[in-house]
C-alpha cells in the first residue's frame, strides 16, 4: 500500500489487465484526459498476474489473443509469440511490455484496492475510496476488473482444519509450489483443473482428482510457432483483425453454414475429426446448430465421448470422465493437452464427487461418503464468482443511494452490458450481458474500450456532463439478452456462465450470446444515433432518447 492521495480526475479506472491498460492509453494518450488506474496487485496483468498455477495457458490462440493494430502496428510487427496457445508467463511479459512501451505504470496505483465508489449527485462526480485511504473524485468511473477475478473457495465443512498447505489456482504463489513426493488432492476439473492436473501428476507422488461434473474437453493442439507461421500471420494481420470483429465469437474463423444432421453420419464424423486434429475451439464451429438444437449437439457430444473412451485405458474411469448430464459447450469446454492420458498413470486416482460428494475437509485430507483420502496438500481449482463477483466488491452506489448489488439482486440489468440505469457516468468493460467470456476476450475488450473512448470524446465535443441509460433501453436490452439466451441450449447446464457455481447467486446467463459481430453492430448503431437509449444531460446536452 502506498501513500494516500486525494485527487480530482477525469476518470478512475479499476484494474490493470488487458482492458485497464488499453483504457488508460486511450484516455490519457488519445483523449488527453487525466486518469488513474487502481490495481490490487503490485504489477500489471490482471488474470495473467494472479493465475500462475502450473500449466496456466490461454485457450485462445496467441496471434489473436493480443492487441490489434488499434493499439500499435509496430508492436504487432515486433512481438513474436513462441507458442500457438501462449502460457501465462509469456502473456504476462506481453502485458508488461505494453505497460512499458506506453509508459502506463506512472498512472497506475498498485497495491491498492477500491473499497467503495459512490456517485455524488451534487458534484456530478464519482467518489472513489481505497484501502490506502485515498479519496479520489472523477467524472467517469470505468471498471476494468475482468470476468474471473474473485475466487470461489467452497465452504466445505472443516475446510480450515486441514494441516497441510492449500492453494487456489487463481491466487497461486509467485514463488511456485514444489509437490515432489507429495500426495495432492485437486478439487475441480474445469478449464483450470484440466491444465493443472497433468503438470502436478508429473511431479507429485500421487494425485487424487475430485470431479463433480465431467467436461467435454477438446484437444488443444498446442505447438511452437514457426518463423514461417509468424511471418504469414504478420502479413495478414489486417484481414485477421477484420474477421475477428465480425464473427460470432471473435475468432478469425466462421461457424460453418450447415446443420449437423444435414450431413450423413460418416461425413459428420470426418468433419469432427478434421476439426479435432486442428485443435482448439474450431470443433464448436463445425455446424451452425450445435448450440441451438439438442439432437445436433448430441452428435458432437458423442464424438467427444468416443475420444475419451479411445484414450483412457480403464473403461470405468473413461465412463466417469465422459459427460452425459449436459449438452456440449453449455459449460465452457476446457482445452486439454494430454489430460485424459493422465488417468492412465499409476499415480492418479479419479474420485466421482457427484456420486460420493465431498463431505468434509479433515486435518489430514478429504472425506467423501466413501471414506477419507489422506493427502499432504490440497489444490482448489474451483473457479470464480464470475462477472459480478468483483463488481459487487467495489461497493458501487449510484443515484439516491442505490447499490449495484441491490439493483442486480434479481440478475444484472444493463444497457449493452456496459452501463446501468441509476449509475451515471459508469462504464463496465466486458460487463455482464456483453459478449465478454463468450468470445475472444481481447477483441471484446478492444471493442468496449474503443466504444467508451469514442463516447467520451462525443460527450466532450457536445459539452455533455452526464450519460445514463434510460429505462426503456435497459429493459429492452435485458429482454433481448434473455430472448437470445433462451434460443440456445446454454441455460441447460449448471455452469459458471449462469452463476450456478456460487450458492445463492441469481441464475441467468451472464455473458451475451448474440455474437461479437452482431453486438458490435448494435453498439455502433447506438453511437451513430447520438447514443440512442442514453439520457445525456448537463450543459450543452443535445439528446435524451
Stretch that binds ligand NA7, among 120-128, 205-213, 320-328, 514-522 (CB under 6 A): 205-213
Element housing 109 (H / E): strand 108-109
Give the SS3 label for residue 224.
Answer: strand
Cell output for 319: 465412463
User: Is 130 near ligand NA7 (CB under 6 A)?
Assistant: no
Decide whether 404 or 437 has the Cβ nearer to ligand NA7. 437
How is 158-174 classified by DSSP, letter by letter?
A: TGGG--S-EEEGGG--T
Among 149, 213, 390, 433, binds ligand NA7 (CB under 6 A): 213
Near ligand NA7 by CB under 6 A: residue from 15, 45, 46, 190? 190
Q: Give residues 272-311 in contact with ligand NA7 (rule: CB under 6 A).
A: none
Q: Total residues contacting ligand NA7 (rule CB under 6 A)?
A: 23
- Report in angstroms how near the CB of residue 158 gets to ligand NA7 at its nearest: 13
DSSP notation for 76-128: HHH---SBSS-BHHHHHHHHHHHHHHTT-GGGEE-S--EEEEEEETTTTEEEE
b/e per residue, 173-212, with b = 16+ CB within 10 A?
Answer: eeeebebeebbbbbbbbbbbbbbbbbbbbebbebbbbbbb
Report the alpha-carbon distance of residue 36 to residue 87 in Å, rounded.
29
d(C-alpha 142, C-alpha 140), whole Å? 6
Q: Please select the residue that binds ligand NA7; options are 212, 326, 367, 421, rule is CB under 6 A.
A: 212
381 binds ligand NA7 per the rule CB under 6 A: yes
For residue 92, how many other CB atoms are within 10 A of its CB? Answer: 21
Under the binding rule (CB under 6 A), the answer on residue 509 touching ligand NA7 is no
193 contributes a contact to ligand NA7 by CB under 6 A: yes
Report DSSP state, residue 255: P
- Residue in the structure block whose three cell numbers are 451452425: 288
Q: Which is nearer to ligand NA7, 143 or 501 (CB)?
A: 501
Angle formed at CA 219 by CA 214 and CA 224, multiple of 5 degrees: 140
**Measured from the CB atom, is 77 or 325 closer to ligand NA7?**
325
Instruction: Work out which of 332, 421, 505, 520 binds ligand NA7, going by CB under 6 A.
Output: 332
Tell me, rounded to whole angstroms, the distance of Cα 65 from its chain centroid: 12
> In the set 20, 45, 87, 188, which binds ligand NA7 (CB under 6 A)?
188
In the list 496, 519, 531, 534, the residue contacting ligand NA7 (rule: CB under 6 A) is 496
* Residue 142 beta carbon to ligand NA7: minimum distance, rounded to whole angstroms: 23
13 binds ligand NA7 (CB under 6 A): no
CB of 40 to ligand NA7, least distance (A): 19
3-state secondary structure of 518: helix
Interaction residues for ligand NA7, span 154-183 (CB under 6 A): 154, 169
Nearer to ligand NA7, 142 or 358 (CB): 358
Instruction: Give the span between the Cα atoms of 486 and 266, in whole angstroms.
Output: 31
Asked if 149 touches ligand NA7 (CB under 6 A), the answer is no
| Residues numbered 414-453 forming contacts with ligand NA7, rule: CB under 6 A | 437
Minimum Å gap between C-beta 321 and ligand NA7 is: 12
Q: Which position among 19, 182, 382, 430 is part of the footprint of ligand NA7 (CB under 6 A)?
A: 382
Spatial contact of 136 and 117, defined as CB atoms under 8 Å apart = no
- Rounded to 5 degrees, what are φ and ψ at 66? -155, 165
Query: Rounded to an integer, what distance in angstroms lies between the CA atom of residue 415 and that of residue 535?
Result: 12
Decide: is 49 part of the binding site for ligand NA7 (CB under 6 A).
no
Query: What pairing do the DSSP bridges indicate for beta strands 365-368 and 371-374?
Result: antiparallel
Q: Judge whether 433 and 417 are in contact, CB under 8 Å.
A: yes
Q: Which is nearer to ligand NA7, 83 or 454 (CB)?
A: 83
Contact positions vs ligand NA7 (CB under 6 A): 148, 154, 169, 187-193, 210, 212-213, 332, 353, 358, 381-384, 437, 496, 501
Amino acid at each position: 500500500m502506498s501513500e494516500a492521495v486525494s485527487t480530482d480526475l477525469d476518470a478512475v479506472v479499476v484494474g490493470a489487465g488487458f482492458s485497464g491498460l488499453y483504457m488508460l492509453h486511450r484516455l490519457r494518450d488519445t483523449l488527453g484526459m487525466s486518469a488513474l488506474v487502481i490495481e490490487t496487485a503490485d504489477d500489471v496483468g490482471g488474470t495473467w498476474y494472479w493465475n500462475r498455477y502450473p500449466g496456466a495457458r490461454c485457450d485462445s490462440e496467441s496471434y489473436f489473443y493480443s492487441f490489434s493494430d488499434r493499439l500499435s502496428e509496430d508492436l504487432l510487427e515486433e512481438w513474436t509469440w513462441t507458442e500457438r496457445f501462449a502460457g501465462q508467463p509469456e502473456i504476462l511479459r506481453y502485458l508488461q511490455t505494453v505497460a512499458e512501451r506506453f509508459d502506463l505504470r506512472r498512472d497506475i496505483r498498485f497495491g491498492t484496492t477500491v473499497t467503495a465508489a459512490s456517485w455524488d449527485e451534487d458534484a456530478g462526480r464519482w467518489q472513489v475510496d481505497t484501502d490506502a485511504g485515498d479519496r479520489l473524485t472523477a467524472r467517469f468511473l470505468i471498471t476494468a476488473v475482468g470476468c474471473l477475478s474473485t475466487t470461489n473457495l467452497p465452504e466445505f465443512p472443516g475446510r480450515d482444519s486441514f494441516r497441510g498447505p492449500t492453494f487456489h489456482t487463481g491466487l497461486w504463489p509467485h514463488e511456485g509450489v514444489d509437490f515432489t513426493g507429495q500426495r495432492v488432492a485437486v478439487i475441480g476439473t474445469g478449464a483450470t483443473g484440466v491444465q493443472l492436473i497433468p503438470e502436478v501428476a508429473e511431479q507429485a507422488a500421487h494425485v487424487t482428482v475430485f470431479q463433480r461434473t465431467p467436461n467435454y474437453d477438446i484437444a488443444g493442439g498446442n505447438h511452437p510457432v514457426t518463423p514461417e507461421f509468424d511471418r504469414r500471420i504478420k502479413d495478414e494481420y489486417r484481414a485477421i483483425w477484420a474477421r475477428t470483429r465480425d464473427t460470432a465469437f471473435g475468432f478469425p474463423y466462421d461457424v460453418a453454414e450447415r446443420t449437423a444432421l444435414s450431413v450423413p453420419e460418416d461425413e459428420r464424423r470426418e468433419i469432427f475429426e478434421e476439426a479435432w486434429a486442428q485443435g482448439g475451439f474450431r470443433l464448436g464451429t463445425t455446424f451452425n446448430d450445435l448450440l441451438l438444437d439438442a439432437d445436433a449437439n448430441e452428435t458432437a457430444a458423442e464424438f467427444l465421448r468416443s475420444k475419451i473412451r479411445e484414450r483412457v485405458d480403464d473403461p470405468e474411469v473413461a465412463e466417469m470422465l465422459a459427460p452425459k448430464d449436459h449438452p456440449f459447450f453449455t459449460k465452457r469446454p476446457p482445452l486439454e493437452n494430454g489430460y485424459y492420458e493422465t488417468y492412465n498413470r499409476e499415480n492418479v486416482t479419479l474420485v466421482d464427487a457427484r456420486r460420493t460428494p465431498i463431505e468434509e475437509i479433515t486435518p489430514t485430507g478429504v472425506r467423501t461418503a466413501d471414506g477419507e483420502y489422506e493427502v499432504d496438500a490440497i489444490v482448489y481449482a474451483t473457479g470464480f464468482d464470475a462477472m459480478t463477483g468483483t463488481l459487487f466488491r467495489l461497493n458501487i452506489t449510484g443515484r439516491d443511494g442505490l447499490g449495484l448489488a441491490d439493483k442486480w439482486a434479481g440478475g444484472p440489468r444493463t444497457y449493452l452490458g456496459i452501463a446501468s440505469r441509476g449509475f451515471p457516468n459508469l462504464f463496465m468493460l466486458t460487463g455482464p450481458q456483453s459478449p465478454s467470456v463468450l468470445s475472444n476476450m481481447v477483441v471484446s475488450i478492444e471493442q468496449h474500450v474503443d466504444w467508451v473512448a469514442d463516447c467520451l470524446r462525443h460527450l466532450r465535443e457536445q459539452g455533455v456532463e452526464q450519460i445514463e441509460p434510460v429505462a426503456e433501453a435497459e429493459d429492452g436490452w435485458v429482454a433481448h439478452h434473455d430472448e437470445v439466451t433462451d434460443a440456445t441450449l446454454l441455460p441447460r447446464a449448471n455452469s459458471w456462465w449462469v452463476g450456478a457455481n456460487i450458492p445463492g447467486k441469481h441464475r441467468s446467463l451472464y455473458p451475451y450470446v448474440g455474437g461479437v459481430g452482431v453486438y458490435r453492430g448494435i453498439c455502433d448503431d447506438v453511437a451513430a444515433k447520438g447514443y440512442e437509449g442514453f439520457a445525456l444531460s448537463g450543459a450543452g446536452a443535445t439528446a435524451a432518447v
